[in-house]
Amino acid sequence: MIILSVINFLLLVSDATGITRVNTTVGKSTILPCLMNNTITNLIFESRGTMSEGENNQICQMTLHVAAPYEDISLAVYDKVTAVCTAQKGFPESSVSWRLQQLNKSQHFLASSDVQTTAEQDPKDHLYRLRSTIQIHGGPYLSATCLIHNPTLNATQSHNYTLNHSGAERGPPALTAVLMMAAVLLWI
């Protein structure tokens, strides 16, 4: 008679502050607390349970999924027709979509062919910076929303910009120039 018991795993994650112990069971997901600027150098999987004699030592296959939500999401509209959404320090590379809301409250998503999105991965920390641009035509629109979907977290972050009835609200020209220059410098 083969005796099998539920096997629990103890996952030990070593970092600069010591060891974090996370108990989990096969088939369950566990979120590990960590800071993105730390490197995980050792992952140790320990079996907690009994196995029958002659049983294969390979208990299971593990996959480690790493994700970080994006920070500093911003959305700006320039010259009443160009909307630019930027986000920093996220992982993995995520998809960006856009939603426009008309004055009558109906909404529609822009086709991917109408969206220009670039993603740059930082060579040091491997986190991504996103920049997505659309042209707002055929209004009048009430708002534009940038949606960033992280497939690993299965979460969508959004940022909304309220437009006036005749198009985008126009900021002072000097402020617009400063913001555009800052965006260019960030991408260099």
Same domain, 39 and 12: yes
Same domain, 54 and 76: no
Range of the domain at 21: 1-64
Same domain, 60 and 152: no
Token pair for residue 31?
């979120």
Q: Enter the pTM of the model.
A: 0.59
Same domain, 75 and 151: yes
Pairing of the two strands 82-90 and 71-78? antiparallel
User: In angstroms, rounded to a whole number, what is the distance separating the alpha carbons of residues 119 and 99?
Assistant: 20
Residues of the chain whose pLDDT is less than 50? Answer: 1-17, 36, 166-172
Same domain, 78 and 165: yes
Same domain, 50 and 110: no
Q: How high is the pLDDT of residue 79?
A: 83
Same domain, 154 and 95: yes
Single-letter amino acid, residue 15: D
Single-letter amino acid, residue 26: V
Same domain, 57 and 3: yes
Same domain, 175 and 148: yes
Q: How high is the pLDDT of residue 56?
A: 52
Decide: 104 and 68 in contact? Cβ < 8 Å: no
Report the number of distinct structural domains present in the chain. Answer: 2
Same domain, 99 and 181: yes
CATH number of the domain to which 110 belongs: 2.60.40.10
Q: How high is the pLDDT of residue 38?
A: 54
Same domain, 85 and 175: yes
- The CA distances from residue 70 to 41, 115, 173, 184, in Å, are 24, 19, 29, 19
Q: How high is the pLDDT of residue 64?
A: 74
**Among 143, 187, 153, 135, which Cα is nearest to 70's?**
153
In this predicted model, what pLDDT tens digit does every residue of 167-184 receive, in sequence order?
Answer: 444 444 555 555 666 655
Same domain, 57 and 84: no
Pairing of the two strands 8-15 and 18-25? antiparallel
**Mean pLDDT for the chain overall:** 74
